[in-house]
């Protein structure tokens, strides 16, 4: 068993071997664990995980997700258009592509699995609108 000082040294040396991205992710996780668990155990998430969420509520949730993902795809597209860095364009274009794939999968999965169609014009709720307006720098 390691003593406190030995454990600290081991912890620090392990951290030094990690990539900067991994170290950042671990630090962010450690700093925000409480918030992450609170989000994970929100009543809506618990009811959805239990399979007892009313279908209408689930449809509304999927609609908000589709609106959100579409805004993310648009934001990535704007970023691609507004950079001259070819490497950044490639990375951003790849991210946009993955968001587009997710958008198609969410819509396809929802319509096939749960038998509902989303409205062609999704009206975002207050939180979704605020987040996407912030993302796209709109008023």
Reported as a single tens digit per residue, the pLDDT across 56-90 is 999 999 999 999 999 999 999 999 999 999 999 99
Tens of pLDDT, residues 34-64:
999 999 999 999 999 999 999 999 999 999 9
Angle value at C-alpha 59, between 53 and 60, nearest 5 degrees? 95
Task: Give CA–CA dist 29/137, Å, rounded.
Answer: 27
Task: Give CA–CA dist 30/33, Å, rounded.
Answer: 6
Tens of pLDDT, residues 95-129:
999 999 999 888 778 878 888 888 889 999 999 99
End-to-end CA distance of the chain: 57
Contact 62, 110 (CB under 8 A): yes
Q: Beta-carbon neighbour count of residue 129 at 10 Å?
A: 16
Q: Which residue has the higher pLDDT, 33 or 13?
A: 33
Question: What's the gap between Cα 100 and its chain centre?
Answer: 13
Question: What's the gap between Cα 92 and its chain centre?
Answer: 16
């Amino acid at each position: 068993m390691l003593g406190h000082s030995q454990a600290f040294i081991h912890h620090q040396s392990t951290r030094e071997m990690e990539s900067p991205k991994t170290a950042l992710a671990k630090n962010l996780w450690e700093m925000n664990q409480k918030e992450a668990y609170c989000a994970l155990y929100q009543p809506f998430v618990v009811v959805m995980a239990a399979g007892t969420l009313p279908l209408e509520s689930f449809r509304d949730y999927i609609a908000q997700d589709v609106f959100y993902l579409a805004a993310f795809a648009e934001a990535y597209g704007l970023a691609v258009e507004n950079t001259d860095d070819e490497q950044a364009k490639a990375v951003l274009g790849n991210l946009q592509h993955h968001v587009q794939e997710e958008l198609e999968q969410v819509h396809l999965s929802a319509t096939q699995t749960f038998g509902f169609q989303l409205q062609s014009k999704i009206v975002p709720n207050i939180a979704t609108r605020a987040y996407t307006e912030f993302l796209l720098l709109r008023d």
